[in-house]
Structure 1
Amino acid sequence: MQEETRVEWRQWGQDAFDEARERSVPVLLSLSTTWCVDCHEMDATTYADPNIAANINDRYVPIRVDADREPRIRERYAAGGFPSTVFLTPDGEVISTATALAPDGMRQVLDRVGETYAEKGDDAGRVPRALAGDLPPAGEVGSAIEEQIAGQLGEKFDGRFAGWGQSAKFPLARTVEFALKRERDQALRTLDAVRDHLLDDVAGGFFRYAGRQDWGDVHHAKLLDTNATLLRAFAHAYVYTGEEAYREPAESTIEFLTDDLWSGVAVGGSVGPGEGAEYWRKNTEERANARQPRTDLTAYAGGNALAADALLTYYGYTDDERAREYGERVLDYLERDLIEHGSVVHFRERGQTGPRDVLSDLAAVVGAFTRAEQTIGYGADVAATVADHAIETLHEDGSFRDGPAEGVGLLDHPLRPLDGNAALANSLVDLATLTGEEEYHEIAHETVGAFAGASHRIGVQVAEYGTAASRLVHDPLTVAVADDPGSDLHRAALRVADHEKVVVPNADESVAPDLERGTARVVGVDAPAADPETLMERVAARNE
């Protein structure tokens, strides 16, 4: 994304930083997105001011980066929101950060940063602590991790309005999923609030977040990642409760993903906020006659993998053929266009190729193809190829880096994001169970252990770390089905009310020795089952 402004924006790359070094001036990095209202407002006001633009062009090297297209730059430099206005030394170290700046504020910051750099030079910069190279504190992978994060659910839960926290409310879909098994009432109340306040009742799909504790001040952008993760969370809630109140929002989100965000081959990245709240209050006919919101149809690897995972989860619970069809189409796109010998490209569009092997992309892709193996009977081989590549190239000193340690600025500094490590650890637990390859379980255990020394500081925002730890300490419920995907036994196994389970269709000797064709076994319970009713009895016996 790049608006027409008076600023002479450069692209992120060595040339821009070399220019800053040659001119002995700082870099002004603007991180923005297509769906960010304040980004467009800042372009229309601050960066359109001729005096400010001249000041920037003369005293800085300005770089514009789309934060969705460059997630590793975003993770290193974002200032907590968008736009992020970040001032750097020619080596990429951080001098100062801000978010949106009005013209007067920008004038003050430009003068202050310019004076600081003139006085201190490169010494004005710093490397953020997360990029300093220190390893996270390792520790034991035990039940205390899950217990601590489960305790945080109660401490942080908003008993009046639901959700976690006392200010802005984000949906936190992975936190909802963690709570579904541990504090179900909190999870369901939160999904109720998300449905009542963030769901677009006309076109389907969920808005990004609410700016107030009571879920008011809704920020109306609809992002793929938000919708994919909420689709899965609502589907899980449906399998626990059987209530249409959770199935219907999931169904309408599928319609949004496969209609409004469908690019023709995959799911696009976002729908912007449009004209604000007034637009979203309009009915279908009124919206058709209004100015349409900005839509980014770039098909990002991670977001599409999350969508495929969610679509196939919903299919497994409901037999919804639309969900299966589009889930498979997304998987086909990922395998055909974005996966190369296990390496994953962030996006391809009109001759542009995004960064390669972003950890969040790899984790989501492994998760999508392990979900496919469980629901439609294929995908484990692709998941294993991507997982093997991630382990070989990014797993170092016990945990995963966020991507290749290369690039200008601070991209060559290792970053080990907890959320990406937790997501991949969870997917590796699934993959180990599906393939019988113990190495995946060992890598998942090592990865969770790499952060365990600081687990007492981990909050509900990264509850998936607690899920991964729990599934390593207490092996997940596993149902081996010696029958074809789609059989009555297989479908019954998928609908067992435990969303952290693993279902292995066409199970072989590596998972369920001596299991006769047409039967299923709950791992840990000796007696097999030949029909859905008996299978449910075996699940109950295992849980006793």
Structure 2
Amino acid sequence: MNRLAGVTSPYLLQHADNPVDWWPWGPEAFEEAKRRNVPVLLSVGYAACHWCHVMAHESFEDDAVARYLNEHFVSVKVDREERPDVDAVYMEAVQAATGQGGWPMTVFLTPSKEPFYFGTYFPPEPRHGMPGFRQVLEGVEAAWRERRDEVAEVAGRIRAELAERARVYGVGAGVSAPGERELHQALAGLSRSFDAARGGFGGAPKFPPSMVLEFLLRHHARTGSAVALEQAAATAEAMARGGIYDQLGGGFARYSVDADWVVPHFEKMLYDNALLARVYLHLWRAGRDPLARRVAEQTADFMVRELVTPEGGFASALDADSIEEGSGESREGAYYVWTPEELTKVLGEADGELAARLFGVTREGTFEQGRSVLQLPAEPEDGAAYERIRAALLGARTERPAPARDDKVVAAWNGLAIAALAECGALLERPDLVAAAERAADLLLAVHLTADGRLLRTSRHGKAGANAGVLEDYADTAEGFLALYAVTGEGEWLSLAGGLLDLVLRHFGDEQSGGFYDAADDAEELIRRPQDPTDNATPSGWTAAAQALLSYAAYTGSERHRTAAERALGVVGALAGQAPRFIGWGLAAAEALLDGPREIAVVGPAGDPRTAALHRAALLATAPGAVVAVGEEGDEAPLLAGRTMRGGEPAAYVCRHFVCQAPTTDPEELAAQVK
């Protein structure tokens, strides 16, 4: 066992018995490199990363490679999900130098943490124009030994270039939040890259555009844009009917390798499913589409069934690979793919043939070795037969060796899951999902929240990791707490969200840009302080903070929080026309800002069906970013203070921009007010 044996990261623990003498990221590793006068090999990945496993098996488990690494380098292994700040800084360097990025990320550093040579996956031997890993190691070692001045010059130049790139987002504190013109430009830009035949944006590979879909739904709700709704609905249906969606167990894979959503990269991430459950719920809310409701509910059920941890939080991911029955080898997708013969074995001849037609399973296969990824090209004519077949196949699949689970709990992703499950539970009348959201929130409070109100990013088995929370942890956890407040009316969640957002303003703000840094002002110093307003697989911390600040301001009337949100959204106006696919969460927040957002207060006795009916109508509001508070007369929460019932009946109040409509006791009238 090497130095990774005592860590909490499942990804690092996968490498704990490598012959490579790995160090976790920390000052000790760089002090050792300085003492020995050797470069640092930084290897970054995550537990569900297929090619990370491949490189580990090919190179890091090889004794000869390990001996060379141990003699000439200090080797540092980082879980990108535990240290997104480290990953962001060096990934930016990789992309700037090579024009592409990905994981595993392989970077060579000086003992001062300055990068000077980059790559991603390296094969053990030269292949397809890529140098072999041993060849790379020998070249870097020779450069370090024989051309140190050249290495230092390269490292210094890269550090200067990264500092220059950091100014790209310095849009200026005076830049205003986007208005109608910028949002129209964003929709026009999305329309140019929209794949009308297959759904989604751009070509292969296709990632679920979760944040963009949220923007499109909000834009349609506010403006009535048929184009926005068409793009959102077509993309959602294409994904739901494709192989990227698990047609048996619910939930989405990370992305599709093709443009038709047929063959996924099979890893299933908590953040994708939290974001998509909420998107499909909002699509259902917009028009009561039954497919959208089914996908939202099945995805929520998947998260609770397969990702919940014994402590009540949600695990990060399921692996893409699993052991294939028969061969005993680990293969990507083995858990999910089928042949016609396997269908018949489980279902019998008649249902096996019906299942093959329903799910697009062919003799030739849509995946490797004649196997097919299940799709659902059309809605089944016989719903009962479909449910019977789906249940039988799901039951049979559970007998297969399951993919490994990365069971660390990430604060930000649990915040997204809390928001999704709270809303799904309330709108789909599933109190068990609301309860699951509350349990996850309780875990974050008990394990991730420190005595001084700061967040720790990860935990495992109920034990907190050592890494400080980054901006997305604070913003997404606040988002989850605000969703719980809207659903439950329990004021504690509003107060806790406010505390987190005050810390965001205190420790993450950037006066020059009006936005935020991804790492706190007292976090570990890296070669630059990471900052990026654009979305990746998850909403950017910058725009997630803006959205949460805007909602909190609507709940409390806080001008300080609203002003901070408006300033942060200035960058969205700058990027809306240039890169709308990568600023979706900011565009969605801008829609809420333009609509108000609307503030809905429901006052009435707890447990009264009339209160519940008004509360449900409020939660079904399609107005972008609308906030909802529910409580009894005398509740001192800001939106509820001074509100009374009307004629002894529960009442709802809808306000926007300090102007309120007449209170109503009628759920249908309330529904009309909050469209």
CA contact 2:555–2:599 (8 Å) conserved in 1:
no
CA contact 2:286–2:622 (8 Å) conserved in 1:
yes
**Corresponding residue SS for 2:23:** coil
In the alignment, what sits opposite 1:303? Answer: 413
Task: State the AA in 1 paired with 2:152.
Answer: D
CA contact 1:311–1:323 (8 Å) conserved in 2:
yes
Query: Deviation of residue 190 (structure 1)?
Result: 0.9
CA contact 2:601–2:652 (8 Å) conserved in 1:
yes
* TM-align CA RMSD: 2.3
In the alignment, what sits opposite 1:32? Answer: 45
Q: TM-score, normalised by structure 1?
A: 0.93
Task: State the AA in 2 paired with 1:69.
Answer: E
1:351-374 Cα shifts (integer Å, max 9, x gaps): 552421311111101101111111
1:265-315 Cα shifts (integer Å, max 9, x gaps): 211111101232332025334434432211112121111111110011112
Is residue 2:269 matched to residue 1:248?
no
Query: Deviation of residue 412 (structure 1)?
Result: 5.7
Give me the identity figure in percent: 27
In the alignment, what sits opposite 1:186? Answer: 231
Q: CA 1:514 to 1:61, structure 2 compared with 1: closer, same or farther past 3 Å?
A: closer
CA contact 1:167–1:213 (8 Å) conserved in 2:
yes
Q: TM-score, normalised by structure 2?
A: 0.76
**Corresponding residue SS for 1:468:** helix
Is residue 2:172 matched to residue 1:127?
no
Task: State the AA in 1 paired with 2:309.
Answer: S
- 1:48 alignment partner, one of 46, 53, 61: 61
CA contact 1:400–1:447 (8 Å) conserved in 2:
yes
Query: Deviation of residue 346 (structure 1)?
Result: 0.8
- 2:315 alignment partner, one of 268, 290, 301: 268
Whole-Å separation in 2 of the counterparts to 1:68 and 1:318: 31
Whole-Å separation in 1 of the counterparts to 2:42 and 2:672: 60
Query: Deviation of residue 454 (structure 1)?
Result: 4.8
**Corresponding residue SS for 1:102:** coil
In the alignment, what sits opposite 1:292? Answer: 402
- 2:510 alignment partner, one of 375, 382, 396: 396
Q: CA 1:267 to 1:106, structure 2 compared with 1: closer, same or farther past 3 Å?
A: same
In the alignment, what sits opposite 1:77? Answer: 90
Whole-Å separation in 2 of the counterparts to 1:411 and 1:368: 32
Unaligned stretches of 5+ residues in structure 2: 1-10, 95-100, 126-131, 220-227, 323-330, 339-392, 535-539
1:359-414 Cα shifts (integer Å, max 9, x gaps): 11111011011111111112110100111111111113122111224666726634
1:490-513 Cα shifts (integer Å, max 9, x gaps): 111111233522223238695478
- 1:137 alignment partner, one of 150, 171, 177: 171
CA contact 1:479–1:520 (8 Å) conserved in 2:
yes
Is residue 2:174 matched to residue 1:174?
no
Query: Deviation of residue 70 (structure 1)?
Result: 1.7
**Corresponding residue SS for 1:396:** coil
Query: Deviation of residue 466 (structure 1)?
Result: 1.3
**Corresponding residue SS for 1:10:** strand
Query: Deviation of residue 96 (structure 1)?
Result: 2.2
Whole-Å separation in 2 of the counterparts to 1:395 and 1:218: 38
**Corresponding residue SS for 2:107:** strand
Task: State the AA in 2 paired with 1:172.
Answer: P
Whole-Å separation in 1 of the counterparts to 2:163 and 2:616: 46
In the alignment, what sits opposite 2:484? Answer: 372
Query: Deviation of residue 471 (structure 1)?
Result: 2.6
Whole-Å separation in 2 of the counterparts to 1:195 and 1:56: 46
Higher mean displacement: 342-351 or 417-426:
342-351
Whole-Å separation in 1 of the counterparts to 2:472 and 2:465: 17
CA contact 1:338–1:344 (8 Å) conserved in 2:
yes
Q: CA 1:407 to 1:305, structure 2 compared with 1: closer, same or farther past 3 Å?
A: closer
Whole-Å separation in 2 of the counterparts to 1:513 and 1:332: 27
In the alignment, what sits opposite 1:531? Answer: 666
Q: CA 1:537 to 1:193, structure 2 compared with 1: closer, same or farther past 3 Å?
A: closer
Is residue 2:123 matched to residue 1:102?
yes
Higher mean displacement: 63-72 or 530-539:
530-539
Query: Deviation of residue 31 (structure 1)?
Result: 0.8
- 2:496 alignment partner, one of 360, 363, 382: 382
Whole-Å separation in 1 of the counterparts to 2:480 and 2:448: 14
**Corresponding residue SS for 2:59:** coil
Q: State the 4+ residue runs in structure 1 displaced beyond 6 angstroms.
A: none
1:190-245 Cα shifts (integer Å, max 9, x gaps): 11122122221222221110112222331000111111111111111111121220
Whole-Å separation in 1 of the counterparts to 2:188 and 2:134: 46
Aligned length: 540
Q: CA 1:6 to 1:313, structure 2 compared with 1: closer, same or farther past 3 Å?
A: same
In the alignment, what sits opposite 2:350? Answer: none
CA contact 1:221–1:270 (8 Å) conserved in 2:
yes
**Corresponding residue SS for 2:184:** helix
Task: State the AA in 1 paired with 2:154.
Answer: A
**Corresponding residue SS for 2:402:** coil
Query: Deviation of residue 452 (structure 1)?
Result: 4.3
Whole-Å separation in 1 of the counterparts to 2:661 and 2:107: 60
**Corresponding residue SS for 1:227:** helix
Q: CA 1:424 to 1:20, structure 2 compared with 1: closer, same or farther past 3 Å?
A: same
In the alignment, what sits opposite 2:5? Answer: none
**Corresponding residue SS for 1:487:** helix
In the alignment, what sits opposite 2:615? Answer: 490
CA contact 1:315–1:321 (8 Å) conserved in 2:
yes
Unaligned stretches of 5+ residues in structure 1: none
Is residue 2:474 matched to residue 1:339?
no
Whole-Å separation in 1 of the counterparts to 2:458 and 2:642: 44
Task: State the AA in 1 paired with 2:279.
Answer: A
Higher mean displacement: 287-296 or 527-536:
287-296
**Corresponding residue SS for 2:628:** strand
Whole-Å separation in 2 of the counterparts to 1:339 and 1:152: 41
1:18-43 Cα shifts (integer Å, max 9, x gaps): 12222222211111211111111111
Q: CA 1:421 to 1:364, structure 2 compared with 1: closer, same or farther past 3 Å?
A: same
Query: Deviation of residue 457 (structure 1)?
Result: 3.0
CA contact 1:32–1:65 (8 Å) conserved in 2:
yes
